[in-house]
Homo-oligomer: A and B are copies of this chain.
Amino acid sequence: MIVEMRTGASKKEVDDVVQKAKSLNLGVQLNVGTDKTVVALLGGNTGQIPTDIFAIFPGVESVTRIMKPYKLASRTFSPKDTIVDCGGVTIGGEKVVVMAGPCAVESEKQLMQAAEAVKKAGATILRGGAFKPRTSPFSFQGLQKEGLELLTKARDEFGMPIVTEVVNPQDVLLVSSYADMLQIGSRNMQNFSLLTDAGKSRRPVVLKRGFSCTITEWLTAADYLLAEGNNQVILCERGIRTFEDSVRFSLDISAIPVLKKNSHLPVIVDPSHAAGNYSLVPAIAKAAVAAGADGLLIEVHPNPKEALVDGLQSLSPSDFARLMDELRAVAKSVGRSI
């Protein structure tokens, strides 16, 4: 942590900062320049100490954190890639894993048709929402427990592990008893109560990026899951909010190499929620694989025109099958397989 003193800061002001640092067991090195003094604070936990503690002192111009605030999610903490096991399917290895299915579980017929289609096309994990976080209280909120039951039925029928979202700490136990993997949605990335409870479950967790959170905040949120002893965490980039209005969210493609550099956790991409439009999904999905994503989360609906939620971003079974062929070629070109 670097504390820059103001031009003309007094010796007493510098001393007060040094004193405070020592009281926190930090190493201190003074850099006395011609114009100003810069104080370097050293110690393994400077990533977790709030910069405010020093910025508030008289005579301080700025405080800059050098260490990252996240710890357990960092590649420094765990240099080797983490492999996540979801019901026998491994994410983070050579294979690019495709998780597909409807945005919301709507009915047995709809879910079974979707499951059959995505299985046939080569997806290995089934996705489907039972608890839906909706922006308006007057929208369809999901089939909830009934949806979970239908998902397990589809798992048994098609032999695919299932991933589904949990939105309330109170539901973590319930959802964990049905699902192979929990999903924490974008709006809940910093729902720390939910993260803590999900971390305590024995399930792997897909942690979606908050649509306006930095990668640093995202990895720090992952620390909440990891701190509970659960290292089975997958990061899912799903688009960030920008000024561009031709898509729902702008997929942050550079998040993939940045995460690979700074973290040991597997990274997947959800092109469907980013684009908000089925016609843009193939280009984004191929880009994600080319950039090094370990998997994809894609919405497929047997009949998008009848979807209760997010029909426009859902692929039809035939579009999905065509995309899977294209993705296989791209994966191969970067030394991986699907």
Contacts and interface: CB of A to CB of B under 8 A. Distances in A.
Taking chain A's interface residues, is the majority helix, strand, or loop, or is none over half, making it mixed? mixed
B31 A311 contact: no
A214 B243 contact: yes
Interface string A200-218: 0000000000011011110
Contacts of A211: 212
A304 interface: yes
Interface residues of A, number: 108
A33 B67 CA distance: 12
Centre residue among A27, A66, A70, A334 by max chain B CB count within 10 A: A66
A19 B240 CA distance: 36
Contacts of A312: 51-52, 55-56
Interface stretch (A37-45, A155-163, A175-183): A37-45
A5 to B, nearest CB: 10
Contact of A254 (B31, B43, B224, B284): B284
B2 A64 contact: yes
A151 to B, nearest CB: 20
B193 A311 contact: no
Contacts of A64: 2, 64, 66
Contacts of A40: 2, 29, 31, 38, 40
A125 interface: no
A227 to B, nearest CB: 4
A258 interface: yes
Interface string A251-283: 111111110111000000000001101111011
A124 interface: no
